[in-house]
A and B are shown apart, each in its own frame.
Chain A
Amino acid sequence: MAKIFRSSPRRLPADLATGDPGLDVRLQELDARLTGTAAVRRPTLQEARDFLLEAREHALNAGRDPVEAAEEAVVGLGDVGAIAAEQRSRLKNVFFGQALRSGLVYGALMTAVSGLQGRYDGAWNDAAIWFRVIGYFMFNAVFFGVFFSCTMTYLFSPRSTPKDRDVRADGFEVGQGKRYVWLAWVMAMLSAASLAMWMAALFGHGPFFPIAPMAAVLLSIMSAHLCVGMVFSAMFRASVTHEAVTVRGLFGRQRIARDAVTEVRDAGILERLASVYVAPSLIVSWRDDGGAVRRSRIPSTPEFASIDRLRAWLDDAIESGRTR
């Protein structure tokens, strides 16, 4: 079986090759041990490559010959097996958290929808009913948990890597890459279509009729929430300079001065459900020119390039405010 499923050895992406055989062999070895798709492995490889190049340059400047310099860099990087093991632990944490959250939310929602459709009608002291409720919940929790964990986290999880166009001399841009913007628009259209069908079912038409009215209402709300969230995520962009961050969304723009930021925190579960963003978001509190405290939401999933850098910028702004 191992022979049947054995895949061809991974090839180091051309843009990550250093041109130094001593370093490339080590990177190749690391790549072979890392887990996940090319996009998932890339940040770790990139970091190791930068280290190797910088360490080699440092050794060359210190007077070593090229072979010695490469050897010194490789020794400095350390055991690639240990790097790969830590990457596996990180991925496991991310997948598990994502799967648990998605599974619980969708498991509960889909079980509720089935309940509203009358699938659990009968005596509540009948064990078969409870068996059905638990079975339905477990199936949806596992299905949606694994589905969202795999698609959103595993396949689309490069860590906030800024593109050239996002890096400017006086600051940086925060926003989704092209493929995420496309994905968000496709998801928005699909959820709009789904909203239309649930609404049609509510009024006695379409392929989903007949359906319990409450179930149709619940599914319509879910579809509308997803649709609006996807449109907002696709439209979101922020420009950050040393002095301020300018957030652009569907309804115009907002300028938050660096010295006006008072607090930044992750949105809680209820705030996330009430938010137009489907993505987890940061809540930034700041004072406007009149001194009034205002709050802005910034979506904070890893597909938003430089979102981690913006978080660092906001934390620094608060820290500077405290020391002033």
Chain B
Amino acid sequence: MANDTGDEQILKGLLDTLVLHVLREGANYGFGIHERLGQVLGTEDAGLMKEATLYPLLHRLERNGLLDSYQMPGDRGSPRKYYRLTPSGRKFLERRVVEWRRVTALLGRTVFD
């Protein structure tokens, strides 16, 4: 159980970073983000997205002020919700990238050797 919780936390942190990274490229909407994540992850790691649900993740990041959203007319005529990084989201991502670098470097020196 403890292991599961730990895995979930790691997965959550990783997906947060990946979504913020995708949105660093510019504002995007739900399916667009999903598609871009699929490209970023590649076929080998595409399963990661299946273990999480994109919308709760986007809404949680928005609630925490890391993303904000606005409506624009979509291809179907109905308004489409776009997400974009806020300045705090950008800073958060930068910090996360530094942290992940430290962790992978540490694991590289210890566990992976």
The reply to whether chain A is a binding partner of chain B is yes
Binds B, one of A73-81, A122-130, A139-147, A292-300: A73-81
Asked if A50 and B71 make an inter-chain contact with CB atoms under 8 angstroms apart, the answer reads no
Q: In the complex the two chains form, what is the Cα distance from A312 to B82 in whole Å?
A: 10
With contact pairs A77-B53, A78-B53 given, residues A309 and B59 touching in the complex (Cβ less than 8 Å): no
Asked if B63 and A308 make an inter-chain contact with CB atoms under 8 angstroms apart, the answer reads no
- Residue A160 is within 8 A (CB to CB) of chain B in the complex: yes
User: Within A67-108, which residues are at the interface with B (CB < 8 Å)?
Assistant: 75-79, 82-83, 85-87, 89-90, 93
- Residue B21 is within 8 A (CB to CB) of chain A in the complex: no
Q: Which residues of B contact A164 (CB under 8 A)?
A: 77
- Residues of B within 8 Å of A, CB-based: how many? 30
User: B77-93 toward A: CB 8 Å interface, digit per residue (1/0)?
Assistant: 11111101000000000
Residue ID in chain A nearest B31 by CB atoms: A54
- Residue A311 is within 8 A (CB to CB) of chain B in the complex: yes
- Residue A159 is within 8 A (CB to CB) of chain B in the complex: yes
- Residue B16 is within 8 A (CB to CB) of chain A in the complex: no
- Residue B60 is within 8 A (CB to CB) of chain A in the complex: yes
Q: Which residues of B contact A55 (CB under 8 A)?
A: 31, 34
- Residue A265 is within 8 A (CB to CB) of chain B in the complex: no
Q: Which of B68, B81, B82 gathers most chain A CB within 10 Å? A: B81
Q: In the complex the two chains form, what is the Cα distance from A76 to B68 in whole Å?
A: 22
- The 10 residue pairs across chains A and B that have the minimum distance between CB atoms: A78-B53, A86-B56, A54-B31, A309-B70, A308-B70, A312-B70, A86-B59, A82-B56, A82-B53, A167-B73
Q: In the complex the two chains form, what is the Cα distance from A48 to B84 in whole Å?
A: 18
On A, residues with C-beta under 8 Å from B are: 43-44, 46-48, 50-51, 53-55, 58, 75-79, 82-83, 85-87, 89-90, 93, 159-162, 164, 167, 306, 308-309, 311-312
Q: Which residues of B contact A161 (CB under 8 A)?
A: 71, 79
The 8 Å CB contact of A77, one of B55, B74, B79, is B55
Q: Which residues of B contact A43 (CB under 8 A)?
A: 81
CB distance from A128 to the nearest CB of B (A): 44
Q: In the complex the two chains form, what is the Cα distance from A50 to B77 in whole Å?
A: 11
